[in-house]
Structure 1
Amino acid sequence: MNNISVIGSGTMGNGIAHIFAQNGYNVTLIDISQTALDKALLIIDKNLERQIAKDLISREDKLSTLTKITTSTDLASGVKIADLIVEAATENLDLKLDIFCEIDRNAPKHCILASNTSSISITKMASITKRSDKVIGMHFMNPVPVMKLVEVIKGYSTSSDTTNTVMELSNRLGKIPVKVNDYPGFVANRILMPMINEAIYALYENVAGVNEIDTVMKLGMAHPMGPLQLADFIGLDVCLSILRVLHEGFGNSKYAPCPLLVNMVEAGALGVKSKHGFYDYSVNPKEPTVSERFLS
């Protein structure tokens, strides 16, 4: 396995491209926008510089990594020699199904089709391909170059050979793969999202303020980041999408998104990506302050 195609050049996609290229794989990073691809390359360059500053890699390693990455705005040509495709597009079922239809048509028959989805059914995506045994989930954590976990999601028809190949590949990337089965939210988000949603409910019901809720979880539960700040970091739109998948998948009211979360997303307050969420990132993103909306 030498040639990796990554679809989507956003936060997760550029991180996935980075880690594969850094480990010697030829990577084609694909997006519909050349502007987005150029931005992704700048982000990868910046993140490699951070690794150099921390003595994690050499400048030669950086140059080698960058030469391993090419970009494409044409999906069909971008996957034509791929041994593995990792889809990291927006968390939208219809979009992902369209992508899987096209990559199934254009990728080599031996190619494994993986999705970085955080909640959408691998089995559903596999069902619209002619290689359901070669469809699997590779749920990387953000930031990809730093976080060790890869949640490897085995769909209903995913073969043992495909699963073993992806587990071994994840190890070669320096990650720690954990195999899970394909149910809504898998493991990570089935546990994480209800906690975030409950923290939003605590704010919504005026149990405590933003800073107070996050401080309790950081100091009392030893979480490195409070749940409201983590929600901002993930993206409130992504949190809402995952909760809706959980709610629909299990039909249980405990997964129903908090009305405050719904309103914030509808208002465009999406967290870090929009510079406003539970915190305000517009002045100093590294030291955000509580958004004025939540100051008493």
Structure 2
Amino acid sequence: MFMNYISVIGSGTMGNGIAHTFALSGFKVNIIDLSQDRITEAINTISKNLDRQLQKGTITSSQHTEAIGNIQGFTLLEAGVKDADLVIEAATENVDIKLKIFADLDKLCKPTAILASNTSSISITKIAAVTARPELVIGMHFMNPVPVMKLVEVIRGFNTSDKTTNQIMDLSVKIGKVPVEVNDYPGFVANRILMPMINEAIQCLNEGVAGVTEIDTVMKLGMSHPMGPLQLADFIGLDVCLAILNVLHQGFGNPKYAPSPLLVNMVASGQLGVKSGSGFYDYSAGIKEAVLSKKFKK
């Protein structure tokens, strides 16, 4: 099936990054969100990120102009998805919200439209079950920042068809990504491996094994990670990390996936990382500083 029209639900970090990538690859993209202000902010973010690419010489001025021209914003779901060949949901990592969105999409989209979720942990099979087209429901888990990171986890639900999977694998290549097909188990591959590591780093901090910068330095210099696990958790969002760990813990019923009490408390207190200005590091002054090292280091 030829795909031209792409709709992206959610204009946050992941949503605007996905829209950016498709628009730059020549697709017509509709960004859908609850308010026009959010949509305007997302398009402004995309424009600034395209400016950076232009300054680096990775795109041309005409590509910049064409990409922005490929994007439209909608606050009404029906208007934004009615012509879409592919809808990618990039809403918050909340199962009830996602189930409601997919139930609505099934009624509003044309029968041939593929419905994809950018979920980082929630079951594609469960999402597909609220639709009458489970064979056309699939996961497209992009990495952050989307315009830069090459990987897309393509997640097959229990009923996702070979045709749908092949179409999304081919499409991912067309937008310059490297797709990896995985099956539908909690956390898929990326977060099933990544989140326990982040959680263990948080527990090391909680137990006073070492401070924030010390833990991150060990992993960067000792394991060749480009970013330490605590800084990465801040970047992802501590609320997102907690949500994914809860999915893993509930999905497998294994105590090894239980979130660290420190992570639970930080999320409850509103310390969510970069998005809130404070997490394991303080970002409020525009300078990254480890704020929890002294508190937990013995």
TM-score range, shorter chain: over 0.9
1:113-192 equivalences in 2 (<5 Å): 113-192=115-194
2:297 corresponds to 1:295 = no
Q: Which consecutive segments of 4 or more residues in structure 1 shift more than 6 A?
A: none
Determine helix, strand or coil for the equivalent of 1:147. coil
Taking structure 2 as the reference length, what is the TM-score of the superposition?
A: 0.98
Determine helix, strand or coil for the equivalent of 2:181. strand
The residue type equivalent to 2:111 in the other structure is: K
* Aligned mates of 2:29, 2:9 — CA distance in 1: 10
* Aligned mates of 2:242, 2:102 — CA distance in 1: 23
The residue type equivalent to 2:149 in the other structure is: M
User: Per-residue CA shift, 1:263-292, capped at 9, x if unaligned?
Assistant: 0000000000001000001112xx40012x
The residue type equivalent to 1:245 in the other structure is: V
Pick aligned residue for 2:201 from 199, 202, 206: 199
* Aligned mates of 1:194, 1:4 — CA distance in 2: 34
User: Could you tell me whether the CA contact under 8 Å between 2:157 and 2:184 is conserved in 1?
Assistant: yes
2:282 match: 280
Determine helix, strand or coil for the equivalent of 1:153. strand
* Aligned mates of 2:165, 2:190 — CA distance in 1: 18
How far the C-alpha of 1:294 sits from its partner, in A, is 3.5
Stretch moving more, 133-142 or 50-59: 50-59
User: Per-residue CA shift, 1:136-180, capped at 9, x if unaligned?
Assistant: 000000000000000000000000000000000000000000000
* Aligned mates of 1:252, 1:279 — CA distance in 2: 30
User: Per-residue CA shift, 1:111-153, capped at 9, x if unaligned?
Assistant: 0000000000000000010000000000000000000000000
* Aligned mates of 1:115, 1:191 — CA distance in 2: 20
1:1-20 equivalences in 2 (<5 Å): 1-20=3-22
User: Per-residue CA shift, 1:160-207, capped at 9, x if unaligned?
Assistant: 000000000000000000000000000000000000000000000000
2:252 corresponds to 1:250 = yes
How far the C-alpha of 1:33 sits from its partner, in A, is 1.3
How far the C-alpha of 1:11 sits from its partner, in A, is 0.1
Determine helix, strand or coil for the equivalent of 2:159. coil
Determine helix, strand or coil for the equivalent of 1:46. helix
1:195-234 equivalences in 2 (<5 Å): 195-234=197-236
2:241 corresponds to 1:239 = yes
The residue type equivalent to 2:289 in the other structure is: T
Gaps of 5+ in 1: none
How far the C-alpha of 1:77 sits from its partner, in A, is 1.3
How far the C-alpha of 1:59 sits from its partner, in A, is 1.3
The residue type equivalent to 1:203 in the other structure is: L
* Aligned mates of 2:35, 2:252 — CA distance in 1: 36
Taking structure 1 as the reference length, what is the TM-score of the superposition?
A: 0.98
* Aligned mates of 1:38, 1:295 — CA distance in 2: 41
2:58 match: 56
